[in-house]
Each structure stands twice: as C-alpha cells, then as structure tokens.
C-alpha cells in the first residue's frame, strides 16, 4: 500500500477551485486524486515520492514513455527558438511529409490541437464535400467531445433501443435533439444490420466515422467483413469513410489502416503524433482536403486555431515518429505478446474468468468470459466492468497505473522485466479484487 498524504492535501485545495476538484474526467479518482510529480522511462512518481509503472501512457498518447532523448532535445531546441508564431514553420511540412509517407491514403494534412477538433473538422469536411447533413458512427465508440461525435457513447440498455435501429443517445445533458437527429448510430461489427441502416439513410449521409478498435466499446478489433462492407457501401451511397486513428495509429508503421488493410477517404490523428504535446490532424484525399484550400478565396471550410501546428507539437511529433521505426513496432508487439502470456497464466493461477482484448501495444483487461464483439456485448459481462475498476485501484496500490476501464498501453521505454513486474502486480492485486 503506497501512502499519499500530500495528494490528499492537494485535493483539498483543488476542490475549492475546480468542480469536484477535477478538470479532466478520465483521471478522476475517489476518495481523492493522486497527483503526479514527474515521469522517467516508463515510470511515474507522485508528489509523495511513490514510483509506479505507467502502463497507460497518458491514455495512449506517450508511446515512448518519458524517456525519449530525441523528443526532449527537439523540444529544448524549440523553446530556445520560440514557442509559437503568427507564421507557419518548416516543422509542419516535415511532420506532414512523414505522415503522408506512412499513411498511403493520406495525401494532405491539416493540424489541430486535439483529436476532438480533428474529428470535428473531418465531419465538417465531409459535409462540405458531399453537401449532406448526417454522418454515421458506431454505438459506444469514443471520438472526442464534439457533440455529434459523442452521440451514443454512453448509451445504456434502457436507452439504446432495438439493435436494428439504435437510438441516438445524448452524452451531455442538454444536447439539442437537432444534433442527435443528424447522427445515425450503427452497431459495431454487426455487418448485416449496419449495412441495412446505412443503405436506408443512404443519400443523407456525408460520412461514416469508424475506429477499427474502439477502446470504450471493448477494444475489440473490427471484423474484416465489417470494414469491407463500410468501404463498399460508403462508395456506393456517395459518403466518405473517415477512419479515426487518434489511438490506433500506434498499431503499426502504416497505422491501423495498414494493419487492417482499409482505405479511408479521411483519417483523423492525434495522441502519439505530438510526441507528448497537444495535437490533432485531419488527413486524406487531395480532392477532399481541398475544401480547406484558401488559394482561391474563402474556403468551403475555414479552419484556423491559435495553436494549430504550433512548432512545439510539430518538432516533438517529428522526433516521436523518427523513434517509431519498424523495429520499435516489432518490440511493442513483443511486449504485448509477453503480457498476454503472463496475464493468461495469472488468470489461471487465481481461477479468474478473465480475458484480454487488443492488438500491438494496446490491451484492455476484462473480468468476464463473455464473448466480446461490440458495445452491447460488454454489458453482458455483468459486474465485470465494476470489478475491473476495483482491480485498477488495487493495481495502483501495487505500483502499476492502468485506466479504470482496464485499458493499457505499452511503450518503447519498457523492457521485458517491466512487463514481468506488471504481471506480478496483477498477481498481487487479483486476490484483493472482490469476486
Ligand atoms: C482520444 C481520442 C479522441 C480525442 O482526442 P483528444 O486529443 O483527447 O481530444 C478522439 N478519438 C479517439 C479514438 C480517441 O481515442
């Protein structure tokens, strides 16, 4: 058990000046938040001096942990040269060249400061390009907090409706019905049902937005036939296919689109491509991206942003990508496989009904043996999610940080010994998790 009295005091101060003492829902914990002081390698030290292995890397954004000399050096140099300017810098060209080289479907790019804004702009692009008002997304999938994009992210059995016509469920209270009416919700991985819904809405759809391995819907990979259907049907109905690679870009040198063999019209990026600094990007076909082009006067989609393409994010992103070699991806895959073997043994030793989903450097731990395929199937796991949250708390006390929903992200800063230490912490934490 790690002691955290200084965090308790900080949280008392935080509660005075922030609602619930919190400014980021995803990091909230009770009875009080534990505050980070610094990171090094794959470890994080809290304000009381406790070290933990960081097995979530700021919710998947830190693929090199805290240890990349190249990123630190690039950032240090940029601090000396100036943090941001009311002029473009060469660094934005360099990062774009690297991303276009890796993602064959991305011919041109624009930058934002978050994945949320990247998704928002991709939807605006699709509407402007097609002249249509609606888009479709998968039930339960997280795409940031733009209100149409967060539709049905918090759908529940009493609100989600029939599987062949899922209800557009608001996430934030007060979301206008007009917003919800323009979002068509489809079930992830249910090829026949999703196809019928898309064809029925056909000529009103600007785009289909999809993440090939949505974390909040279970971190289950998309079935090949589901993705092939989305590509075929979007072409036939004249809608764009938007692949949200804000997380999944970290699955391989050519992103998830390379790993899954899918060819989207637009791709949204974020997280790892900023090397730890805030970032988002929209990329895709040249003719589609031309809606941003200002050379002939006011573009179809005006897009600015005070800190868009700020050089800190650009140079750190370039450095992060330089370190993301094919060898680095092979290492991350190896760490993932090592974890799978270790955690499988661990579940057996403790007689626990557990399973792990994910690919590459991403994993999600589930405490149930229900077969997971889509968002609704995660609810068939009964109190599994509650027990995962309890397991995450026990792991935190045993010196390992994972997300409360069981999400884990491995980094190039990790060694095989680190994975063994993570598994050893599961070994100690599982018996302390209520059955
Ligand atoms: C994190 C995430 C976003 C939002 O990115 P932010 O930078 O947090 O706004 C969008 N889509 C997916 C798939 C994400 O994981």
**What mean pLDDT do residues 327-351 have?**
97
Please give the distance, rounded to the nearest whole angstrom, from the Cα atom of residue 206 to the centre of ligand 1: 21
Atom nearest to 144 CA in ligand 1: 4
Distance from C-alpha of 107 to C-alpha of 113, rounded to nearest angstrom: 20
Residues with a CB atom less than 6 Å from ligand 1 = 114-116, 119, 142-144, 211, 244, 246-247, 270-271, 280
Other Cβ atoms closer than 10 A to 145: 17
Confidence tier at 67 by pLDDT (50, 70, 90): confident
- The boundaries of the domain holding residue 148 are 69-323
In ligand 1, the atom with minimum distance to the C-alpha of 59 is 1
What confidence category does residue 336 fall into, taking pLDDT thresholds of 50, 70 and 90? very high
Q: Are 234 and 241 in contact, with CB atoms under 8 Å apart? A: yes
pLDDT at 382 (0 to 100): 87
Indicate which atom in ligand 1 lies nearest the CA of residue 115.
5
Measured CA to CA, the distance from residue 110 to residue 304 in angstroms comes to 10
CB atoms within 10 A of CB 305: 15
384/278 same-domain check? no
Using CA positions, which residue lies closest to atom 15 of ligand 1? 247
Which atom of ligand 1 is closest in space to residue 141's alpha carbon? Answer: 13
Instruction: Report the distance separating Cα 251 and Cα 230, nearest Å.
Output: 21
Maximum distance among all alpha carbons in the chain? 67
Top-confidence residue, 168 or 217: 168
pTM: 0.98
User: Tens of pLDDT along 183-196?
Assistant: 999 999 999 999 99
Q: Which atom of ligand 1 is nearest to the CA of 211?
A: 13
CA gap 112, 98 in Å, rounded: 17
Atom 5, ligand 1: which residue's CA is nearest? 115
Considering the domain architecture, whether residues 84 and 39 belong to the same structural domain is answered as no
Is the predicted pLDDT of residue 435 greater than 80, yes or no?
A: no
Give per-residue pLDDT as tens, 91-133.
999 999 999 999 999 999 999 999 999 999 999 999 999 999 9
Q: Could you tell me the distance, in angstroms and rounded to a whole number, from the CA of residue 405 to the centre of ligand 1?
A: 16
How far away, in angstroms, is 146 Cα from ligand 1 center? Answer: 10
Pick from 300, 323, 346: which residue ends a domain? 323
Going by pLDDT thresholds of 50, 70 and 90, the confidence category of residue 1 is confident
pLDDT of amino acid 387 = 95
Does 268 share its domain with 381? Answer: no
Mutational test site, ligand 1, from 115, 123, 137, 149, max ligand atoms within 8 Å of CB: 115
What number does the ligand 1 atom closest to the CA of 271 have? 7
Q: Residue 225: its pLDDT value, please?
A: 98
pLDDT attached to residue 291: 98
Beta bridge partners of 109: 283
Q: Do 38 and 178 sit in the same domain of this protein?
A: no
Question: Which one of 56, 59, 63, 114 would you pick to mutate in the ligand 1 pocket, going by the greatest count of ligand atoms within 8 A of its CB?
Answer: 114
User: CATH no. for residue 364?
Assistant: 3.90.1150.10
Same domain (yes/no): 135, 232: yes
Most informative mutation of 121, 210, 270, 277 for ligand 1 (most atoms within 8 A of CB) = 270
Give pLDDT tens digits for 353-407.
Answer: 999 999 999 999 999 999 999 999 999 988 889 999 999 999 999 999 999 999 9
Specify whether 164 is located in the same domain as 285: yes
CA dihedral 64, 68, 70, 72 (to 10 degrees): 110
Q: Which atom of ligand 1 is nearest to the CA of 270?
A: 7
CATH number at residue 193: 3.40.640.10
Which pLDDT value is given to residue 20?
Answer: 97
Q: What are phi and psi of 20, to 5 degrees?
A: 65, 15
CA of 144 to the centre of ligand 1 (A): 5
Q: How many domains does the chain have?
A: 2
Q: How many residues does the chain have?
A: 435
Q: Which of 305, 323, 341 is the last residue of a domain?
A: 323
Distance 99 CA to ligand 1 centre (A): 18
Same domain, 258 and 346: no
Give yes or no for a contact between 283 and 100, defined as CB atoms under 8 angstroms apart: yes
Last residue of some domain: 323, 339, 368? 323
Cα separation, 64 vs 324, in Å, equals 9
Q: Which residues pair with 205 in a beta bridge?
A: 134
Query: Residue 145 C-alpha to ligand 1 middle, in angstroms?
Result: 8
| Six token digits for residue 102 | 């890796």
pLDDT digits (tens, 9 = 90+) for 235-287: 999 999 999 999 999 999 999 999 999 999 999 999 999 999 999 999 999 99
Q: 15 CA distance to ligand 1 centroid (A)?
A: 26
Tell me which of 142, 210, 407 to substitute to probe ligand 1's pocket, judged by most ligand atoms within 8 Å of the beta carbon.
142
pLDDT at 367: 95
Task: Judge if 107 and 217 occupy the same domain.
Answer: yes
One domain, residues 135 and 284: yes
Mark whether 243 and 360 lie in a shared domain: no
- Residue 278 CA: which ligand 1 atom is closest? 7
Average pLDDT rounded to a whole number, residues 60-64: 98
Q: Do 290 and 406 have their domain in common?
A: no
pLDDT above 70 coverage of the chain, percent: 100
Give the pLDDT of residue 335: 98
For tokens 């399973």, name the residue: 355
Q: What is the pLDDT of residues 285-305, one digit of tens each?
A: 999 999 999 999 999 999 999
Atom 12, ligand 1: residue with shortest CA distance: 143
Give the pLDDT band of residue 136 (cuts 50, 70, 90). Answer: very high
Q: How far is the CA of 409 from the centre of ligand 1 (A)?
A: 15
- Rounded to an integer, what distance in angstroms lies between the CA atom of residue 268 and that of residue 274? 13
What's the mean per-residue pLDDT of the chain? 97
Q: Say if residue 279 is in the same domain as residue 369.
A: no
Kind plus residue range of the DSSP H or E element containing 73: helix 69-81
**Cα separation, 232 vs 228, whole angstroms:** 6
**Of 403, 432, 418, 421, whose CA–CA distance to 61 is shortest?**
403
């Amino acid at each position: 058990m790690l002691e955290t009295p200084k965090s308790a005091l900080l949280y008392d101060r935080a509660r005075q000046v922030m609602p619930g003492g919190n400014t980021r829902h995803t990091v909230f914990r009770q009875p009080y938040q534990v505050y980070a002081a610094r990171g090094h390698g794959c470890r994080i030290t809290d304000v009381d001096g406790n070290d933990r292995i960081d097995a979530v890397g700021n919710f998947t954004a830190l693929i090199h942990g805290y240890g990349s000399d190249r990123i630190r050096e690039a950032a240090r140099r940029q601090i000396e040269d100036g943090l941001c300017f009311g002029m473009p810098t060469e660094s934005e060209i360099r990062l774009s060249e690297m991303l276009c080289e890796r993602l064959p479907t991305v011919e041109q790019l624009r930058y934002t400061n978050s994945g949320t804004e990247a998704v928002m702009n991709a939807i605006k692009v699709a509407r402007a390009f097609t002249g249509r008002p609606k888009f479709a997304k998968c039930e339960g999938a997280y795409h940031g907090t733009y209100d149409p994009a967060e539709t049905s992210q918090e759908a529940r059995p009493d609100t989600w409706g029939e599987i062949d016509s899922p209800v557009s469920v608001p996430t934030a209270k007060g979301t206008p019905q007009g917003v919800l009416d323009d979002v068509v919700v489809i079930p992830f991985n249910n090829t026949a049902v999703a196809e019928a819904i898309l064809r029925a809405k056909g000529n009103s759809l600007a785009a289909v937005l999809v993440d090939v391995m949505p974390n909040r819907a279970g971190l289950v990979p998309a079935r090949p036939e589901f993705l092939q259907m989305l590509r075929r049907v979007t072409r036939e109905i004249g809608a764009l296919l938007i692949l949200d690679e804000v997380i999944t870009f970290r699955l391989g040198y050519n992103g998830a689109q390379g790993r899954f063999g899918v060819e989207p019209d637009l791709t949204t990026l974020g997280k790892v491509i900023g090397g730890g600094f805030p970032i988002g990007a929209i990329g895709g076909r040249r003719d589609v991206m031309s809606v941003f082009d200002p050379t002939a006067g006011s573009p179809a989609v005006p897009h600015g942003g005070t800190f868009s393409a700020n050089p800190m994010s650009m140079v750190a992103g370039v450095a992060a990508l330089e370190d993301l070699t094919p060898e680095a991806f092979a290492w991350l895959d190896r760490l993932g496989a090592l974890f799978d073997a270790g955690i499988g043994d661990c579940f057996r030793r403790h007689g626990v009904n557990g399973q792990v989903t994910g690919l590459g450097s991403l994993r999600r731990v589930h405490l149930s043996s229900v077969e997971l395929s889509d968002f609704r199937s995660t609810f068939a796991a009964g109190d599994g999610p509650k027990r995962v949250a309890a397991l995450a708390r026990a792991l935190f006390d045993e010196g390992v940080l994972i997300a409360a929903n069981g999400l884990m992200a491995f980094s190039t800063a990790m060694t095989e010994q680190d994975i063994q230490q993570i598994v050893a912490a599961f070994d100690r934490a599982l018996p302390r998790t209520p059955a």
